[in-house]
Structure 1
């Protein structure tokens, strides 16, 4: 009897095919406790999910100092919780108009001055975090972070404002371009600059090879998220990479679309190695920073894959069932 006969989806093996090393920050437990205490002070009660979110960032930034990992965990745990609150799968009873107001209120947290009025405890905590970061992070990081986060939120706002767009399935190319924004991958990479005091000149950021390299890593993480979350999203009638692939090629079964998505990730690994060799030299000092930036970005990719894979086993109550394919 095959997996298809039993209604089981076999997930692609994304772990053994990943060429990037997995590490965990040694400060994880201490930082996690501090982040949970900080959130609790804002009435955001401790939950198991917060600890899991903190583990995510300990895997994504294994070489960060305790202080900077703490500031990173504070922010991203909030981002995760806000995303859960506003996600169409979980935000039951919250109208799209209210979601738009909450998202705009989140963006207002980053205004340097003014009479900011938080609509939620999440926004209040995020405002506090940003005031802290204004004094500890470089202007370069602040600008790149705000721009990246704004692009992601504004893309989500645009999708919410156009229900027709939100409900219709785009073609693959369009979906990938949208997903690169809504996955907030650039935000995660911006924190590498904060954690390691990396300041690269504009000519590096505008370099086509470096941009394509970072898109490769964003795609790997976004595609993996779509693979691991498909079971939940299809129940709530949401589209993701699997749905888009099946829409583009109506002959595909769910399993075949899963396999194709897995192959797309493997293809991105190959693209990464090829494009990395195309990165030009900007001199010894800048080259060292670029190398550090790229190496730390691979930690985000590896940490995301392992954290998401483990999460599959925590959410298996829905059908069709999901099995992780491992090559032992």
Structure 2
């Protein structure tokens, strides 16, 4: 797939001061539920993350505004406390890695990937003093206590893909490349970090689904539709912060660049793609084959876990301060986002 090389700074007409978000929340009718352990996991993960004075000042404030414990507790509402805690540690750490990778060149992402992947492949023997490696080993040693071999394999493989794709993203950022839409979608399905989270649905619910079932086209399509919704909607919600930093690894500038359309048209275009991904998920769900009562029960729990992610990510994006600061509730009601000024690099 070819990349079209274009400058990182897309021109934006000066008159454009705001965008109107698509109404994705009312297009998604899945139920919202939350684990009764949400406050406890939030407290314990915070202690884990801040240990040894890790994250100080603004980074610590950013963590508080993230509200990751709420996201985890709604995406994995039926998990037992030990599993929910390990998943919340992972998700919080994933946001932390995502923030780090935004500021890294490809060499930085490669060295982080070495630490993380060695810690996953060799949790009992790999030794490193790097903080990210220690954190990886700590949560993963808890995961492998009860995760099925298949879930472990899927978790490590997809996390490996995540690092390969963020390395490509760092290269694109450094060279000012805006990929074409097809290339971007393929890359974004891995940079999202959703795929390891899907493996954790198996772990959190104590599922042991055979590999041939997880490899079935319908199960794969359901995972892809959920990934696309979570990821593409995230591109809409995070666009304002990213455009202020000049970051073009986002579907909106990709669409503007490829289709030659204005900003609001691109937002609407991506919004329609999000709605289609929810419809796609519902269609695939209605086509699920049967593998017998026991496997069907586990598959139903897994698919419910994907649906939890779809609905929960949409609501959490307005509750978290990551995208809209303190104005999330207001933005959710009006769907109007005032664009931030571009940051000037020092």
Short-chain TM bin: 0.7 to 0.9
Rate the CA distance shift 1:16–1:126 in 2: closer, same or farther, 3 A: same
Q: 1:58 aligns with which of 65, 73, 83?
A: 73
Distance in 2 between residues matched to 1:222 and 1:284, nearest whole Å = 33
Measured after TM superposition, the shift of residue 256 of structure 1 is 1.1
Q: Does 1:12 align with 2:22?
A: yes
Structure 1 partner of 2:90: 75
Q: What whole-Å deviation, never above 9, does each CA across 1:295-318 have from its counterpart, x for those lacking one?
A: 1211111111111123343177xx
Post-superposition offset of 1:165? 8.4
Structure 2 counterpart of 1:153: 163
1:20–1:298 Cα contact (<8 Å) kept: yes
Instruction: Tell me, in whole angstroms, the C-alpha distance in 2 between the residues paired with 1:142 and 1:166.
Output: 35
Q: Does 1:167 align with 2:145?
A: no
Spell out, residue by residue over 1:233-269, the C-alpha distance to the aligned partner (whole angstroms, 9 max, x if none).
Answer: 112222211111112210x211111111111111112
Distance 1:42 1:124 in 2: 12
RMSD: 2.3
C-alpha contact 1:13 1:325 (8 A) present in aligned 2: no
What is the TM-score of this pair, normalised by structure 1?
Answer: 0.87
Match of 1:207 in 2: 216
Q: 1:5 to 1:236 in 2, by over 3 A?
A: closer
What residue is the counterpart of 1:313 in the other structure?
324
The number of residue pairs the alignment matches comes to 311
Per the alignment, residue 242 of structure 1 pairs with 252
Q: Residues 273 and 175 (structure 1 numbering): CA distance in 2 closer, same or farther, change over 3 Å? A: same
Larger deviation, residues 42-51 vs 295-304: 42-51
For residues 253 and 333 of structure 2, the distance between their equivalents in structure 1, rounded to whole angstroms, comes to 20
Q: Can you give the 5+ residue segments of structure 1 that lack an aligned partner in the other structure?
A: 317-321
Map 1:20-99 onto structure 2 (within 5 A).
Answer: 20-45=30-55, 47-51=60-64, 52-87=67-102, 91=103, 95-99=105-109
- Bigger Cα displacement from structure 2, 106-115 vs 202-211: 106-115
Q: Which one of the candidate residues 269, 272, 277 is aligned to 1:268? A: 277
Check the 8 A contact 1:200/1:286 in 2, yes or no: yes
Deviations 1:97-152 (Å, cap 9, x if unpaired)?
23321232122211325442132x23222222222333333322211111111111
Equivalent-residue separation in structure 2 for 1:25 and 1:49 (angstroms): 23
Deviation of residue 49 (structure 1)? 3.7
- Are the equivalent residues in 2 in contact too, given 1:35–1:74 (CA < 8 A)? yes
1:134 corresponds to: 144
* Post-superposition CA distance 1:76-106 (Å, at most 9, x none): 111111211221xxx2xx5542332123212
3-state SS of 1:169 partner? strand
Contact 1:14 1:305 in 2 (8 A): yes
Q: Distance in 2 between matches of 1:204 and 1:64?
A: 22
User: Match of 1:102?
Assistant: 112
Matched with 1:116 is: 127
* Structure 1 pair 325–244 and aligned structure 2 pair: CA distance change class (3 A): farther
- Alpha-carbon displacement from aligned partner over 1:41-95 (angstroms, at most 9, x marks no partner): 34324834434122221122122222211111111111111211221xxx2xx55
Secondary structure at 1:9's aligned position in 2? strand
Q: Give TM-score, length-normalised by structure 2.
A: 0.83
